[in-house]
Amino acid sequence: MVDDIVRAGQAEEDRRPAPDMWSLLHGLGTDDPQSVTRGLSYLWDAFLEYPNVFEPAVPAVRYVLALLDRKAGGDTVIRSPDGRLRPLRGHLLTWLSRVADAVGDVRVREFVELAGFSPLESATSTWRAVRQLRPQMYEAAAAFLDDPHPGVRQEAITVAVVLVRDPALAVHRRHIAAAARVFLDTCTDPMCRRWAAEAFDEIRPSRP
């Protein structure tokens, strides 16, 4: 899968991947905390640059989904580029939420305003390809809604909230609202409670 990301990066005309791209991304799947941290730092900003989503983001999503499936990193806590302490799976979920948000309807409208055309115009666009992976992204997030680490649960809810904005995934809104409600009811940290309340308010079932 890392090879697919590197090939996609090499195929881009206007951008060149880092010379050590393969080793950096491969490090995410190792047991070495330093390699994992370096790989995460590279993953964080290599494939998104507002308002653009670059072609390697598609195989990168597949790679992250595979890492989540095997719970890469175990329970070792590492620091993300934005300073949060989480097991790797929590940081990977955060990255998925950023990617999901980057191809959402709001970002499409902003892209059109900036560029004068839609990133969805082409049937082979990167945006479309990432959007097609949203069901798998949701399944990955849902698998961590009951994770023993509260930070991972928070990130799972975060990405799920973004994904259920998609009408095709709206059927899951009630389930994610319930998870956000449980998180809110059991959390004692004021900032996390504020976040959980906002997440719940966005997707809670409509009142009759």
189 within domain boundaries:
no
Q: Considering the domain boundaries, does residue 34 fall inside one? A: yes
- What is the reported pTM? 0.92
| Residue 163 · residue 137 · CB < 8 Å | yes
Helix (H/G/I), strand (E/B), else coil: 137 = helix
Q: What residues contact 1, with CB distance under 8 A and at least 6 apart?
A: 59, 62, 63, 66
Q: Which domain holds residue 131?
A: 2-147
The reported pLDDT for the residue numbered 87 is 96
Mean pLDDT, rounded, for 185-207: 80
pLDDT classification of 206: cutoffs 50, 70, 90: low
Q: Is residue 155 part of a domain?
A: no
Dihedral through CA 54, CA 32, CA 1, CA 51, nearest 10?
-10
Q: Is residue 58 one of the residues assigned to a domain?
A: yes
pLDDT (0 to 100) of residue 16: 78
For the chain, what is the domain count?
1
Residue type, 121: E
Q: Read off the pLDDT of residues 67-97 as tens digits, 9 standing for 90 and up.
A: 999 988 899 999 998 888 999 999 999 999 9
Mean pLDDT in residue range 41-63: 94
Contact status, residue 30 vs residue 36, Cβ threshold 8 Å: yes
User: In whole angstroms, what is the distance from residue 96 CA to residue 60 CA?
Assistant: 10
The answer to whether residue 105 sits within a structural domain is yes
Rounded to whole angstroms, the Cα distance separating 74 from 90 reads: 11
Residue 153 lies in a domain: no
pLDDT at 62 over 90: yes
Q: What percent of the chain has a predicted confidence (pLDDT) above 90?
A: 72
Residue 101 resides in a domain: yes
DSSP structure class, residue 167: G
| Residue 161, domain member (yes or no) | no
207 pLDDT band (50/70/90 cuts)? very low
| Distance separating alpha carbons of residues 3 and 135, to the nearest angstrom | 24
pLDDT mean across residues, the chain: 92
